[in-house]
Amino acid sequence: MTPSNPTAVPRCYALVPCAGVGTRAGVGRPKQYADVAGRPMVEWTLDALAAVPRLAATLVVLSPSDEEFESLLPRYAGERGWIARCGGLTRAHTVANGLDDLVQRGVDDDDWVLVHDAARCLLRPEWVDRLIDACHADPVGGLLALPVSDTLKQERDGRVAATVARAGKWSAQTPQMFRLGLLRKALAHAGTDVTDESSAVEALGHAPRLVSGDFANFKVTWPGDFELAARLLGRG
């Protein structure tokens, strides 16, 4: 891919898809706005990204019908805090629309975009820096991830159908860091059913770099996850 401005140093931007409804969480509202340790969950996430100086800005992609974000985070929007109400029905659709918004804001094809789940609210700035350090000179990009340590079971009708070998398997996390031009092409090729950005890039024949993440960087999904996240955040 030819850089749109070959003399420019690629910049880094974060993109947070924040248009989901989080039905598995059982909190009666979009889970990104649920209280975790006294604050909306997404606020923890955005504060961690704001503490990374190398991120030029963070774009939050909301549902067009979202009426909660500004009331819960009234001081978010600004020079490094951007909002776009163009979320889609799936994560991939939301991210693709967010990338289009970044293009309209002047972000170049060769600039880096770090896509991060709003529900990974225990993110720490040093993990983001670790990813940027590992990928800024990489020809493809990469993602935070952890080697799988548990024994894996294949399920069928509520019973174990097989034990799956865990050797060489990693659990994907976010952020996932790719150049804007490559990621737009990958998502357009893969469609809206892929569950992470790496999958879309892999479908084009690329091999993203795996960068060691952290066990605390889990995605708050189930009701019990909220209590665990609150305890960990409460401990600082």
pLDDT tens digit string along 20-67?
Answer: 765 554 466 788 999 999 999 999 999 999 999 999 999 999 999 999
Band (pLDDT 50/70/90 cuts) for residue 1 is very low
Mean pLDDT of 87-109: 97
Q: Which pLDDT does position 136 carry in this prediction?
A: 97
Domains of the chain: 12-234 (3.90.550.10)
pLDDT, one tens digit per residue, over 41-54 is 999 999 999 999 99
Q: Which pLDDT does position 188 carry in this prediction?
A: 96
10 Å CB burial of residue 125 (0-12, 13-18, 19+) is: middle
Q: Which pLDDT does position 94 carry in this prediction?
A: 96
* Percent of residues, the chain, with pLDDT higher than 90: 87
Q: Which pLDDT does position 5 carry in this prediction?
A: 54
- Give the largest Cα separation in the chain, rounded: 57
Band (pLDDT 50/70/90 cuts) for residue 2 is very low
- The span from the CA of 227 to the CA of 205, in Å, is 40
Backbone angles phi, psi at 13, to 5 degrees: -130, 150
10 Å CB burial of residue 171 (0-12, 13-18, 19+) is: middle
For residues 124 and 232, the answer to whether their CB atoms sit within 8 Å is no
> 129-164: buried (b, 16+ CB within 10 Å) or exposed (e) per residue?
ebbbebbeeeebbbbbbbeeeeeeeeeeeeeeeeee
- The span from the CA of 47 to the CA of 55, in Å, is 12
| Top mean-pLDDT range of 28-32, 51-55, 87-91, 147-151 | 51-55
Q: Which pLDDT does position 29 carry in this prediction?
A: 77
Q: Which pLDDT does position 234 carry in this prediction?
A: 85
Task: Tell me which H or E stretch contains 83.
Answer: strand 81-85
Task: Tell me which H or E stretch contains 173.
Answer: strand 170-179
For residues 232 and 216, the answer to whether their CB atoms sit within 8 Å is yes
